[in-house]
Structure 1
C-alpha cells in the first residue's frame, strides 16, 4: 500500500501536474499563433484592398499596371493560397460593385496576378467543391475565356457541380442558351433565381430551341422555358397552354397561369375561367390575378357570380381585387348593399382603410 502511495505522490501527481501545465502552455501558444496569424491576414488584406482600389481607379495603362502588380506581389506572401484567395475575393467584390470600363480592367488585373492559373488549378483538384470554387471565379468575374474550361462539367456525375457549371455558363457564353434544354437535374429555387438574375443582367440572345423547352421531360426546364418565354415575349400556342394546364405539376400550371397575364395567348380568358375550379387555392389566386390583368366583361360576369358563391375570405378579397382591376367603377353600382364586399372594395382602393 505504501509503495502505491509513493507511486501516486512521487510519479503520478507530478506527471498530472506536468501534463496540465503542458496542455495549458500548448493552448496559450496556439492562441498566440492564431492571433499572430489573424493579425497577419488582416494586415495583408488591408494592403491588398488599398492597392487594388488605387489601381482600379487609376488611368489604365497595361505596362504600368503590370509593373505595379509585379512590385506589389513582392510586398505580400503571394505564394500562399490564402493570399491569392484574398486578392480574388477583393477583385470579385470590385467587379460586383463597378460597371463599365473600370470593371473591364479587372480581367487584366486577374490575369496579371496569375490568378487565372490559380482558378484552373482548382478545377484540376479531385474534390467537386474545390472545382466549383474555380467555376465560381469565372462566373463572378464574367471571365468569358473560362467558358471552355467550364463546359466539361455540364454533364458531371456530381449534380451540384453540374448545376454550378450550367449557371456559370449562362454568365460566360457568348452564344445562345440552347444548352439548358439538356439540363438533367431538378433546379432548386436558388439556382432558378440565379439563372433569371443572370438573364436580366446579361440579356443574352433568345435560345433558338426555346419552343422545345416546354416539351422537356425535366419539369424544371419546362418551368424555366415558360419564364424565358415571358422574358423574351415569345407567345405560347393555345394548345400548349391547355396541355401544360393538364400537367400533374401544380408548379408548372401556376407558371403558365402567371404567363397568361404577360403574354398574348389566344383564348386565355376562357381557358383560365374553365381551369379555375380544377386548381388549389394558390393557383386559384393566380388565375384571379391574371383575369384582373386580361379580363373583359366575360371575366366580370364570371367573377361577380364567383363572389356570391365563395365563402373563403382570402379568395373573396382576390376576386374583389380582380373585379376592381377590370373595372374600377364596378363597385359603384354592384354589391352596394353587401357591407363585407364594400369594406373589401374600399380596402382595395385604399389599402390604409
Structure 2
C-alpha cells in the first residue's frame, strides 16, 4: 500500500542573499583601517597636548620671575636694580615677539589677577597694556568661532580694558547663551553706565544665576552711582522688570511705591512675589487693600508672600480678614501661615488646640483645698502634741494638788462619804453634777493659765540666753581692744636677722659641691681629714652626706668588678641619644652601637648601659658590659686629667705669688696715661687692693720675670 502524498508543499518565502566574499573582506579592511586611524590620532593628539602643557609649564617658570620683578620694582632703588630692571624690559620685549610666549604671559597675568587687589592689581593692568597683550584679545573677538570670541571677552573683562566697551555691546543679544552672558558681564564691568545700557538694550532672558553674577559685579564697583531703577519697571522685558525690582530692594530705593503696587497685578508670579516683598520691606501700607483683593485668586507661593507682607506692615484691623480667610482656606501650609500672621498682629489670639488634653480645674481646686486642710490639721495636731508634752509635768502637778484638796475636804466632814451619799435625797444629784461641772471648767482654766505661764517662762529663758551671749561677745571684744591698745608700735616686734656665712665656709661649701658632682671613692680620706678640725655644722653635715654617697658607690654590688666606676645621678635611660636607635635596630646594629657608645658616649649613656647589661640576650649583655667598662675608664681618666690641670695651675700661681712681693707689683717704669674708672677688688692675704684683678697680677708677674732675665 503506497503512502499518501503530502497535502501541502513547504516552499521558502524568503531566501538569504548571496554576498560575495570579496565585499566582506573589503569591509573588514575598511573598518580595521578606520580603527587604526582612530587610535593613532587619539595617541597623537594626547601626546601633542601633553607636550604643549609641558612647554607652557617650562615657559612659565622662565617668565614668572620677570613679572614678579616688574611688580615689586621701586623707583627709588639703587643703580644695580635699575640696570637689572632695564635688562628685564629688553628681555621681555624679545619674548613678546613670539606668539607662544605672548600666550604664556597672558596666562601668567590672568592667574595673578585672581589673587591680588589694590595697587598690585593696577600694576598688572598696566603691564598687560604696556606689553600690548590686549591686541591679541581684540583679534580673538574677530574670530568666527563663538568660543574664541567668548575667551577674548573674558580676557578683556578681567584686565579691565575699558576701550573694549563698544566692541562688547554688539554681543549682548547674541544667540549663543555663553557668549551673550560673557558680553553682559563685560558691558556692566567696563563702563560706569554699563548697567543702564544693559537694562535699556537687552532683549533676551536673564537667568537667576546671571542676575546674581551681575548683582555681584555692581556691588563690587565702588565708584558706581546707582541710577533710579524704577524707570525700568515699565520695560516690556519681564526679566528686566524682575532684575530692576531686585536692584531697587538691594539699594533701598523706596521712591517707587506706586509702580510697585501696580506690579502686584502682574501676570508673572515671580514679578508679583518680588513686588510684594518690596512692599513689605518699604512699609507701603497703601497696598494692603490690593493685597487682600488679589489674595483669593493667587497661587500658593504668592499667598505666602502676601501673608508675610500683611504680618509685616498690617495692623489689628486686618485680623478679621485673616480669620475669614483661615476658615475658607484648605491648604495646610497656608492655614499655618495665616495663624502665624494673626498671632504676629495680635499676640496670643489663637492658642494651641491640637492634642491638648482637657482638665477639670474645679476638681483640681477641690483636691488641692482638701489636701491643704489635711496638711494644716496634721500640723495643728503636731503642735498640740508638742505643747501637751511640754506641759505634762505642770498638769500632773495640778492633778496632785486637786487630789490633796479633796482629801482635806473628806477628813473635815464628820460623815463618811458613803453615808452622805446614802442620806442625800435624789433631788440633789443635779446640783452635785452642776458643782462638778464648775470644778472641771475651773480646772481647765487653771490649765490654760498654766500653759501661758510656761510659754512666758520659755520666752524669758530665751531672752536671758541672748543677753548672756551678747555679754560674752562684749567681753571678748573689749579684751581684743585692750590687746590692740597694748601694741603701740608695730616695729616693736623683733625681726629675725639673716644668717651670713663667712668667706672660708663659702669656699669649703663650693669645694664640697664640686666633690659631690665630680668626685669618687678616692675623695673619702680627704673628707675624713676635713671633719677632724672642722667646727661649722653646715660643712660637717655636707661632708657626712658626701661620704655616705661615695661609700654607697664603693660598696655597690651591681658595678663591674675589677673596673673603676663612674656614678652619675639625675639621668634616665631615655636621656641617651642611642636609646631610640637601639630599640629600632637589629642585633648587628645594636652590637655596633654599643661599641660606639664606649668610644664616644658620656655620662648620659650610663643608665642605658646598666639596663642593657642585664638584657636576656647574652651577646647584647656582654657587649654592654664591655662598653660600660670602657666608658667608666674614659670618664674617670677625663676627671683625673682635669684635676691634674687644676693642681698644676694652682701650683704655678702659688710659685708666682711666693716669688713676687706686694711692692714689686707696683714698681712702674712709666707714667699712666689715664686713671682706671672702674675699680675691682681682689684679695691678697687679708687686705683688698683696688683696680687689679688676678689675671692682671699674673700677667704683670710673668712680664717682670722676663724683664729681670733680660737684664741679667
TM-score range, shorter chain: 0.7 to 0.9
Q: Which runs of 5+ in 1 are unaligned?
A: 1-15, 341-353
Alignment of 1:1-353 (within 5 A): 32-47=47-62, 52=67, 54-55=68-69, 58-59=72-73, 68=88, 71-72=91-92, 78-80=98-100, 84-154=102-172, 161-175=179-193, 177-179=195-197, 180-202=199-221, 204-207=224-227, 210-235=229-254, 237-307=256-326, 309-319=328-338, 322=341, 326=344, 330-331=347-348, 334-339=350-355
1:223 CA drift (Å): 1.2
Q: Which moved more, 1:19-28 or 1:113-122?
A: 19-28
User: Could you tell me whether the CA contact under 8 Å between 1:147 and 1:172 is conserved in 2?
Assistant: yes
Aligned length: 322
User: Could you tell me whether the CA contact under 8 Å between 1:56 and 1:102 is conserved in 2?
Assistant: no
Distance, in Å, in 1 between the alignment partners of 2:169 and 2:44 is 47
SS in 2 for 1:171: helix
Distance, in Å, in 2 between the alignment partners of 1:274 and 1:23 is 68
Distance change >3 Å, CA 90–CA 321, structure 1 → 2 = farther
1:116 CA drift (Å): 0.9
CA distances 1:246-271 after superposition (whole Å, capped 9, x unpaired): 22212211221222222243513333
Q: Which moved more, 1:136-145 or 1:313-322?
A: 313-322
User: Could you tell me whether the CA contact under 8 Å between 1:229 and 1:236 is conserved in 2?
Assistant: no
Distance, in Å, in 2 between the alignment partners of 1:213 and 1:101 is 36
Distance change >3 Å, CA 100–CA 288, structure 1 → 2 = farther
Distance change >3 Å, CA 154–CA 99, structure 1 → 2 = same
Q: TM-score, normalised on structure 1?
A: 0.72
SS in 1 for 2:99: coil
1:219 CA drift (Å): 1.0
CA distances 1:118-154 after superposition (whole Å, capped 9, x unpaired): 1111122233332222222222333323323323445
User: Could you tell me whether the CA contact under 8 Å between 2:261 and 2:287 is conserved in 1?
Assistant: no
- CA RMSD for the aligned pairs? 4.1
1:170 CA drift (Å): 1.0
Distance, in Å, in 1 between the alignment partners of 2:324 and 2:163 is 60
CA distances 1:36-69 after superposition (whole Å, capped 9, x unpaired): 33322333345556655x3586256598878646
Q: TM-score, normalised on structure 2?
A: 0.39
Distance change >3 Å, CA 242–CA 124, structure 1 → 2 = same
Distance, in Å, in 2 between the alignment partners of 1:249 and 1:18 is 59
1:171 CA drift (Å): 1.0
Distance, in Å, in 2 between the alignment partners of 1:157 and 1:78 is 35
CA distances 1:172-214 after superposition (whole Å, capped 9, x unpaired): 1133633222212222223222221112121522235x33311
User: Which has the bigger relative contact order, CA under 8 A and spacing at least 6?
Assistant: 1
User: Could you tell me whether the CA contact under 8 Å between 2:280 and 2:312 is conserved in 1?
Assistant: yes
Distance, in Å, in 1 between the alignment partners of 2:32 and 2:178 is 51
User: Could you tell me whether the CA contact under 8 Å between 2:147 and 2:179 is conserved in 1?
Assistant: yes
Q: Which moved more, 1:38-47 or 1:244-253?
A: 38-47
Distance, in Å, in 1 between the alignment partners of 2:87 and 2:312 is 60
User: Could you tell me whether the CA contact under 8 Å between 1:273 and 1:299 is conserved in 2?
Assistant: no
Distance change >3 Å, CA 113–CA 292, structure 1 → 2 = farther
Distance change >3 Å, CA 66–CA 122, structure 1 → 2 = farther
User: Could you tell me whether the CA contact under 8 Å between 2:261 and 2:275 is conserved in 1?
Assistant: no
Which residue does 1:11 correspond to in 2?
none
Distance change >3 Å, CA 151–CA 279, structure 1 → 2 = same
Give the greater-gyration-radius structure (CA).
2
Distance, in Å, in 2 between the alignment partners of 1:200 and 1:117 is 29
Distance change >3 Å, CA 140–CA 336, structure 1 → 2 = same
1:108 CA drift (Å): 1.0
